[in-house]
Amino acid sequence: MTNLCEIKRLSSAQFTQWDDYVKTHQQGSFFHLSGWQTVIEKSFSHSCYFLYVQQNGIITGVLPLVEVKSKLFGHALVSTPFCVYGGVIADSQNIARQLEQEACRIAEQLQVDYLELRYKEAQDSSLLLKQAHSTFGCAIAEGNDNILTSIKKKQRAVIRHSLKNELSCSISENSSDSTSFSNDFTDFYQLLSTSYRNLGTPIFTKRFFENLMATFNDCSDIAVIRDKDNLPSSAVMNFYFNEQVLPYYGGGNDGARGLKSADFMYYQVMCHAHQKDKTWFDFGRSKNDSGPYKYKKNWGMEPQPLHYYYHLVKVDSLPNLSPNNPKYKFFISMWQKLPLRLSQFFGPFLSKYLG
């Protein structure tokens, strides 16, 4: 007979214990950290259901969940929106399945369209499996020259080209010089907004990124690449978790492609991460066979399929929220024509539901 666990909701009093568990669990990720509850609640006012099991005063399983409700994009319970990975991490299959069952119960109670659990690894689960994305990563070699040598030959040539373009890189933390960080943050948001607009994607509110940097101020920074005239070209917000660096939100302006500044940037992030004793470069997820998917493969990284599991509640099939959906083609083309300031104003009203 299965022993039933008592499942609790996370409060600030358990943040440290929760995070200690995540950091020591083999499947724990940056996206399981308690700080995401703070960021999401402050940025978007979505309801969070961060669940955990505690036995004899010790946490033995966690599951972060967020309710995302939109008339336009549907109603879902997700682990975790705005994140690559999620789902249950637990000490046993028994605890994991009980947390999943509780998630299904909450999804039924909330009458969402569906529950989505974003696992990195395959699960022994009866839920519906969909594999539309893959994640990429590679070991970080010892020293800048070895890092460059470890990159696939064709991409290595692109980086060597970028090294001749008189580009510079500044990396600043929220806890460092306030003026330097403020300038880098402003440049970062402008460059990211430009990239999102050019892709036809609504940008997040600036407050979201401010909350990320404030909440994860001890494990995040911003890298900005500038051209020979000291004008910003590309930028990325990086997170650090255990031995990993995760360059997560990155973008550039119209001149970035010619300067190869994004290629230069990711190489610099690898070098900086090595100086911080990080050994793994997590390049995040991309939709299978998309442009970003092919770009990451060019670095010599092999795609690892992600395992997203679903429990359907009020729908018979999953909605197609992909940018490739013909339904969104006109909207995307119109968004790409918006002035940047308008895209920054209207984007947050939509992006908060596109996690």
Residues 131/305, Cβ–Cβ less than 8 Å: yes
Q: What is the pLDDT of residue 136?
A: 98
Print the domain residue range for 72.
7-131+306-319
Rounded to whole angstroms, the Cα distance separating 132 from 199 reads: 20
Does residue 190 share a domain with residue 153?
yes
pTM confidence score: 0.94
Q: How many domains does the chain have?
A: 2
Whether 337 is in a domain gets the answer: no
Does residue 124 share a domain with residue 107?
yes
Whether 345 is in a domain gets the answer: no
Whether 284 is in a domain gets the answer: yes
Q: Nearest-5° angle of CA 93, CA 31, CA 124?
A: 20
Does residue 168 share a domain with residue 156?
yes
Does residue 284 share a domain with residue 146?
yes
Does residue 80 share a domain with residue 214?
no
Residues 32/79, Cβ–Cβ less than 8 Å: no
Does residue 312 share a domain with residue 299?
no
Does residue 291 share a domain with residue 158?
yes
Whether 290 is in a domain gets the answer: yes
Instruction: At 260, give phi and psi (nearest 5°).
Output: 60, 35
Exposed / middle / buried, residue 86 (Cβ in 10 Å: 0-12, 13-18, 19+): buried
pLDDT in tens, the chain (355 residues): 367 789 999 999 999 999 999 999 999 999 999 999 999 999 999 999 999 999 999 999 999 999 999 988 899 999 999 999 999 999 999 999 999 999 999 999 999 999 999 999 999 989 999 999 999 999 999 999 999 999 999 999 999 999 999 999 999 998 756 888 999 999 999 999 999 999 999 999 999 999 999 999 999 999 999 999 999 999 999 999 999 999 999 999 999 999 999 999 999 999 999 999 999 999 999 999 999 999 999 999 999 999 999 999 999 998 877 777 777 788 899 999 999 999 999 999 999 998 8
